[in-house]
Each structure stands twice: as structure tokens, then as C-alpha cells.
Amino acid sequence: MSNEFTSKGYNSPKTKIGQQKMDVLISSAEELFAKNGFYDTSVADICKHAQTAVGTFYIYFKTKTDVYRCLLDKYQRAIKEHLDESIKGCTTRYEKERQGIKAFVKYALQNPTAYNVIWGSLSIDEKLFHDYYVSFAASYARSLSKDAEGVSGTDYTSLAYLLMGISNFLGLRAIFENMTDEQIDEMIDSTIMPALSSGFIKA
């Protein structure tokens, strides 16, 4: 059976049952990568864990790395959906950042393995890591440019990296200190948002 793979290296199933089979393969891969590492997990291991024939694997993926790419896309989608949900009803850029950063930090705290998967891609294939953040930054920059009246400065790409860096590192802190939701809200309301709106390093 020959397949037309997308540039992403994986095929999206056309049927619901196909999607379910693919999802089981991705979840199995995620579990085994976390437990044994990417290099010590084989396609055969993933299929065995998923109780799926090896031939089925190759309907959806070209290589093991493509499963990883698919996993990264899954995380990016989940994070974006979570952020979109959090800013529903926000009418200003300020309010979007306030709710969005809070939502990101809480997501990070509840899904700490997201860092292992996303940052772990660096040691598997730097292109995976590159593509993940370049696409995330482009989408963030577009969103900032749409709210231009709420943003000082027009270099939206730099500002996107700046904001992504802040969210990611506050997420780390929340994990390190096992912060409560109240502590996260307090940190963002009292320190982060004033810093973003008025600055904090005196010129």
C-alpha cells in the first residue's frame, strides 16, 4: 500500500476508527517515550503496547520521528485550545494576556510532562523543536498584530518571543514551587501584568 504523506510525515485518518487507532498509537508512543526514552523505544514496541499490527503503524507514520512530530502537534493544539478558551470574552489585549498567561502557567503545572516532550524534541531532531516554536511564535505575533491598538511597539515577533519566554519560565517556577492557583493569580496580577503594562526596569 502506497501512501501520500503530508509534509509533516504523518497522515490524518479519514475515518473515525482510523483516528482512534492513530490516537492509541500516539498515546502508546508518548507513554513509552516517557518511560524508556525515545531511542530505547522501537516502532515494534509502540505497536505491541497499542495492540496494533506494525503494518497499521506505517499507514499513519513514515518513521518513529513522525510520531514525535505528531505528539508535538497534539500538545500545540491542546495548549492553543486551552489558551483560546481562557481568553473567550476578553475585549482588550491586556485582559487577553492576563488570562492567557494564567492559563498557560496552570496548564504547565497540570501537565509538567509537556516540557519533557516539547523541550525533549531538541535532542531527537532540532527541526522538530524549531518548527514547534517558530509556528507558535508566528501565531502569537499575528494575534498581537490584530490587537495593535493594545500594544506599544510593532516588532510583534520579538514581543511574541518575549511573552512566550515569560509564560514558559513562570510555568517552570509554578512546577518547582508547586504553586497554588491563588499564588499563580497573585504573581501575575501583582507583578507580571504591571511589569508588562508599565515596565519595571527604570530607564
Binding site for a second copy (CB under 8 A): 37, 39-40, 92-94, 97, 115-116, 119-120, 122-123, 130, 133-134, 137, 149-153, 155, 157-159, 161-162, 164-170, 172-173, 176, 187, 190-203
- The number of angstroms, rounded, from the C-alpha of 68 to the middle of its chain's C-alpha atoms is 13
Nearest distance, CB of residue 12 and a second copy, angstroms? 27
Q: Which of 191, 4, 201 is nearest to 98 (CA)?
A: 191
**CB nearer a second copy, residue 20 or residue 191:** 191
**CB nearer a second copy, residue 9 or residue 150:** 150
Distance CA(5)–CA(60), nearest Å, equals 8
**CB nearer a second copy, residue 50 or residue 187:** 187
**CB nearer a second copy, residue 51 or residue 152:** 152
Nearest distance, CB of residue 10 and a second copy, angstroms? 23
Distance CA(167)–CA(116), nearest Å, equals 16
Nearest distance, CB of residue 75 and a second copy, angstroms? 15
Distance CA(71)–CA(118), nearest Å, equals 9
**CB nearer a second copy, residue 25 or residue 196:** 196
Nearest distance, CB of residue 194 and a second copy, angstroms? 7
Contact between 47 and 56 under an 8 Å Cβ cutoff? The reply is yes
What's the Cα-to-Cα distance from 53 to each of 35, 48, 85, 86, 116, rounded to whole Å? 22, 8, 37, 40, 28
